[in-house]
Amino acid sequence: MEIRFDGQVVMITGAGAGLGRCHALEFARRGAKVVVNDLGPEPDGSAGPSENAKAVVAEIEAMGGEAMAHGASVTNQVAVGNMVQEVMERFGRIDVLVNNAGILGDKSFHNMTLEGFQKVLDVHLMGTVTATHAVWPIMREQAYGRVIVTTSSSGLYGNFGQSNYGAGKMGVLGLISTLKLEGEKYNIRCAALAPTAWTQMTADIFPPEAEDMFKPEKVSPAVIYLAGPDAPSGTILCAGAGGFARAALMESPGVYLGPDASAEDIAANWDAIASMDQAVEHFAGLEQPQKMTRLYQSG
């Protein structure tokens, strides 16, 4: 059955180009009214949406869809609040939030300033928090919502020169790990996209010949799925070049070493402790102490 968004409003941050633009166009093709957020000419977005955002809106309108552009910076709480208010005045609801806005500031940790670290963190982590916090009461009130954050393999596994970017991308996973629990009774589902795509932001990372293989539009089906009515909550969906995979944080079954266990006991039993045979995936943090209790009782 086709996944449709007729009557729904989808807000996408950083949607003026690259992945965000592709997401916006695909949501529009599937019937959604789309809010195209892209940073305006002034750092706080006060001068209105970017020309890129206006161009995406024009593309959507040309295909018969409905969209609006807004230039709020996700790092500006007041601007994001104004954007959400304008969306509600025009459309009356917000069903899906795709947190896509991002920047890079690659440098080895040794050479990075704390200001440079904070700048990237402000966009990826706090920008996601700010936008999500602004729509959360609306989704609770209407008893429906889908929140998608954009993570990265750099956050999941690390990448040289991206300690700031990786920290932000791992931070958004911590955010939705709790929001999936808090939103459950309001039918708000939260998930993460880990994209691999050739965009303006990643053009220096990929070789030129990879551009066609990693076109950003090949990632958008994953966002559509995660925003759909039957989307799983708490999932990390990886997408790129037409391939899709699920990532997960796993924990080994564990070994009980007794109440007087020493560091040397851990060293002596490390292979068994670290073995991921029969590893488990926890849905909530309390499942870990429950497991340790079972190990204690079995010992």
Tokens representing 153 are 């393999």
Q: Residue 175's Cα: distance from chain center in Å?
A: 10
CA distance 103 to 117: 11
Catalytic residue among 165, 186, 225, 256: 165
What is the DSSP-derived secondary structure letter of residue 16? S
DSSP secondary structure, 160-212, as one string: TT-HHHHHHHHHHHHHHHHHHHHTGGGTEEEEEEEE----TTTTTTS-GGGTT
What contacts 62, CB < 8 A, 6 or more positions away?
Answer: none
User: Could you count the other beta carbons within 10 Å of the beta carbon of residue 271?
Assistant: 8
| Nearest partner of 103 among 189, 32, 30, 13, judged by Cα | 13
Q: What are the C-alpha distances in Å from 263 to residues 107, 251, 268, 269?
A: 36, 20, 9, 10
CA–CA gap between residue 127 and residue 109 (Å, rounded): 22
Chain-centre distance for alpha carbon 193: 5
Is 157 one of the annotated active-site residues of the chain?
A: no
Rounded CA separation 16/13 (Å): 8
Q: What are phi and psi of 48, to 5 degrees?
A: 100, 175
- Kindly compute the dihedral angle of the four CA atoms of residues 229, 232, 238, 241, in this order, to the nearest 10 degrees: -30
List, by residue number, the catalytic residues: 165
